[in-house]
Structure 1
Amino acid sequence: SSGGFVESIVEDLATSMMKFHPRGMRIGIIYEKLASGLAPDSIRSFRDQQYRWSKGAFELFPKYLKTFGKLTWSQRFDYLATIVWYLIGITTIFSLIFPFLNSIGIFFLYYNSLIEYLIIVVGLTLMQYFLYSVPLFIVTKSFRKTAKAQATGLVVIKMYTKALIDTILGINSRYKVTDKINYKSKILRTIIRTRDILLLALLNILAIIFSLIYNVRGRYIVIGWSIYNLLWIIAGVYSIYKDAWRNGNKYMFEIEFYGSNENEATELLYTYRNGYNVEFIDCSGNRYKCKIIDLTLRKNTNYNGTMILRET
């Protein structure tokens, strides 16, 4: 017996790093479905979740240093990679504001030729892209889903950065549990919550304008970098707003199925699936609760209810 979990925001990561692996224990995977949870259903809850995870990871770093000697080299690398991955927030923000800073005369990058620039900057950018996208593609097995995940990741870069700053300054934020209800992300509310992304887009547009009007050093590189940033921002905003429109105007109700086993409940579920998108949201015992979303209805529909089907 290994005892209880280590008290932490990221208790699973902390427990394995501080308790299981230092003792030489192996962690296995149980493929049986033991519990079902809900993913964040709104931009607000998604940001809250990612802030919680990133802050918990940053706070774990001093403890990682203490247990470093008790871990294998592969474990050391895995845990360090997990923690520092959240630095992608602040590095992405720097990448997005870099063209604007150059356009107003604040230079961080010096190069002697276009070839040198291509080797250093473009090479590092492509390496970062592939290192980030390959693991995602392995999980999603889809180029479209991989690109969408990268684009919508712009939503949380602010939260990763805030978590880093809060950890350094020792600021404790109020704990927020991920919403377990369908939160209606209307377009206006979505605009308000993505205003930081829109601000970054504006800075890149200004960088292009300033580079065209004034004789900015390396103007074509600044313009190219700004266009590259804007393409990712447009992809992310499109994906976010598209999902917000669908989630804000959909017909949804829940059905609870009672069967002797999951296969039986699933078969009963498919009987009522025609024209619907079905998702399991809770399975416990012989009770199977499913969320049914009618994708054919869009406007002027706001219905939530529960229908109980009992097997005879």
Structure 2
Amino acid sequence: MRTERNLTRLDRVFARLDREPERPTHLDVPRMSRHRVVLFSATLAFYLAIVVAVLTTSWLVRFDWQVMFFRPYQQWPEIHAFLDYWVVLGQRGPTAVMVAAWLGWRSWRQHTLRPLLMFGAALLLLNVTVGAAKIGMGRLGPHYATAIGSNEMWLGGDIFPSGHTANAVVTWGILAYLASTPRTRRYLSALSAVVSLSVGLTTVYLGTHWLSDVFLGWAAGLLILLALPWFETPITRVEAMIFSLRESWRARRTGIITVPGTGASPVGASAMVPPRTAPEGDAPVREPVAAARGARPAAYLAPGPHTARSERTPVTPAGSRRPPHSDRVPRGTTSARPVAGG
């Protein structure tokens, strides 16, 4: 008799996760050190300085106009086709899908949700901070400029800071932040810096952003990466809560209730609560929580492995195959019954 339950796809995924190693203990998680706090403060000061320089229409705005009139896409037209594709590395949709797929595989292998949760927190900070700055300052881009020499602020635009640049810094920088070792983090930091710098300059080449937009985008993305260690503790709590909910859901599906310190007991078994306080001299009273079900008969289990009929050894029966009869007398003996007749 076949007693094995058919496993669903979700059961197979959980079983595979259980076979994977637990969360590695040697991961180098970045901390908010004094050096990191100083770097965060310096980047924030640079961010504010760029905003003030643009608002006051300083030399930075004049330099923006000089670069725009230089028209880099006309100076080097042979690389225009390549840079049209290269700038995609700063678009949020395609890059988020690629990085999320890689981090999802890492989460599956390491049996932890930290990579995906940190990436989600970084994207949330990026959307909130950069989106609020874009809408709040409303700067127009070079292709929509209205007056030569003006800062083009408060005119309903959405390019300050550069979203492509900030997204490139955060999306590729999160890979360096989540690296397992300091050596890997250094290599990935250098690679993400090259990608984010090139994406920012590509937007200037294509004429979609002012140079000051790119400066502010670099600062905005770097601020998010530097602030991520402050979110490590909340992310750890969220991860523990998600795994706890998963275990309780699995326990409900399998019909097992886990009681701390007592192991697992099947649902419906006779569970007893601690005895109530009873008067002196009386026996403690126990109250049944659930009615006990009748014990099921044990299923028949064969003593050994099942073999096919053709593989069994033939056995010759001993003795007569006829069923025994109480009134039958063996041959050659005298019957004890009286003979009827004359």
**So what's the TM-score if we normalise by structure 1?**
0.24
Q: Which of the pair is proportionally richer in strand?
A: 1
- Larger RCO, structures 1/2 (Cα 8 Å, 6+ apart): 1
Q: Which has the larger radius of gyration?
A: 2
